[in-house]
Amino acid sequence: MSGRRAEKRVAVVKGDGVGPEVIESALLVLEASSIDLDQVPVDLGFGRWERTGKAMTEEDVDLIKGCDCVLFGAVTTPPDPDYRSVLLTLRKELDLYANIRPFYKGKIDLVIVRENTEGMYTGIEDVDEARATTLRVITRSGSERIAEKACQITSSRRKLTIVHKSNVLKSDSLFLRTCRDTADLWSIPYQDMLVDAAAYNLVIGPEKFDVIVTTNLFGDILSDVAAGIIGGLGLCPSANLGERYALFEPIHGSAPDIAGKGVANPVGAIRSAAMMLEWFGEVEKARRIEVAVNDTLNAGLKTPDLGGYLTTEEVTGAVVKLLRRS
């Protein structure tokens, strides 16, 4: 093979259910943004497991490691007790320690920065009939790097909120202390909040938050709360960042209840593609996608989950049309 190496090599994992439908939309929007991408399709997930008995292999991981980043749809969890989550494995293999989830609508503009590799999701568990334990691990280095990422994001914004449960969990005292130390070093204005109070305050006054940094499980839950507040899972993108790799995905799952009907909301996947462009340094192109998506939604062009009546294809077409015009 000859020819010029396209600017960025992106592993494209469409996955299962609505995954392929919304990733198709994201790819159309990238094409309309005149982005030179080298796409490497990688087939992972439940469909793959049904066909071959494996949801993902070491070769797949190697293929992905040969790329700059991953654009990921969603995967269905197979009914297999020995199944190890594809996403958890990828987050670990690529050391994607920072899960960044922006949420905005009207006056609400907040970012949840979730630690992605430790906390309750270590997989260190001991289960028998009478007793089951899960080991929650918080390290200084793990807390430090997520706090730094949060401070970096807050430095161009307003204020950091450290969310924890240190009144009960000793492990969270370490998290809180480390985040405070890091915010002091960065001279970032911050407050801290217990996770239950944070859940309450998010519901009654989401516009008061700016950047939230928290541990794995709390971030998982609070980000679904935030998604509900701004109008639904279908709208929300995310970035999973490490030092070397990144993975961009809508926060929703494979939505088997609506898969194949052509009505999945493509906005979360399209915004994930915009986050990917921003990560590449294509800030202006990312911004244009955001504007096109907002204008489309503001014009009432929406899928049924948002109370609209358009298909995935029609909403995508509207965004693409605006991009071609701009």
**Contact (Cβ atoms closer than 8 angstroms) between residue 25 and residue 270:** yes
Applying CB under 6 A, among 178, 215, 240, 265 the residue interacting with ligand NAI is 265
Q: Is 165 a residue of the active site?
A: yes
| Residues contacting residue 183 through CB under 8 Å, at least 6 positions apart | 147, 151, 160, 162, 189, 190
Residue 262 touches ligand NAI, criterion: CB under 6 A: no
Q: Which of these segments, 74-82, 129-137, 140-148, 209-217, binds ligand NAI (CB under 6 A)?
A: 74-82
Q: Is 121 a residue of the active site?
A: yes
From the CA atom positions of the chain, what is the Rg in Å? 20
Applying CB under 6 A, among 151, 188, 193, 255 the residue interacting with ligand NAI is 255
3-state SS assignment for residue 106: coil
Q: Is 68 a residue of the active site?
A: no
Q: Catalytic residue among 196, 208, 261, 321, which?
A: 196
Query: Rounded CA gap, 88 and 58, in Å?
Result: 14
Q: What end-to-end distance do the CA atoms of the chain give, in Å?
A: 35
Q: Catalytic residue among 121, 190, 285, 302, which?
A: 121
Applying CB under 6 A, among 25, 33, 76, 171 the residue interacting with ligand NAI is 76
Q: Is 220 a residue of the active site?
A: yes
Residue 216 touches ligand NAI, criterion: CB under 6 A: no
**Contact (Cβ atoms closer than 8 angstroms) between residue 103 and residue 229:** yes
CB of 170 to ligand NAI, least distance (A): 30
Binding partner of 150, given ligand NAI, Mg ion, none, CB within 5-8 angstroms per partner class: none
CB of 286 to Mg ion, least distance (A): 24
Burial group, residue 253, by CB count within 10 angstroms (0-12, 13-18, 19+): middle
Q: Which of these segments, 131-139, 154-162, 163-171, 249-257, binds ligand NAI (CB under 6 A)?
A: 249-257
Which among 253, 193, 190 has a CA at the least distance from the CA of 220? 253
Structure tokens at 192: 């801290």
> Which lies closer to ligand NAI via its Cβ, residue 256 or residue 300?
256
Binding partner of 264, given ligand NAI, Mg ion, none, CB within 5-8 angstroms per partner class: ligand NAI
- Phi-psi bin for 265: left (phi > 0), alpha (psi -120 to 50), beta? beta
φ and ψ at residue 240, rounded to 5 degrees:
-110, 115
Residue given tokens 């396209």 in the structure block = 6
Residue 274 touches ligand NAI, criterion: CB under 6 A: no
Structure tokens at 213: 């940094």
Residue 305 touches Mg ion, criterion: CB under 5 A: no
Q: What amino acid positions are annotated as catalytic residues?
A: 121, 165, 196, 220, 224
List of residues contacting ligand NAI (CB under 6 A): 18, 22, 74-77, 87, 233-234, 249, 252-258, 264-265, 268, 303, 305
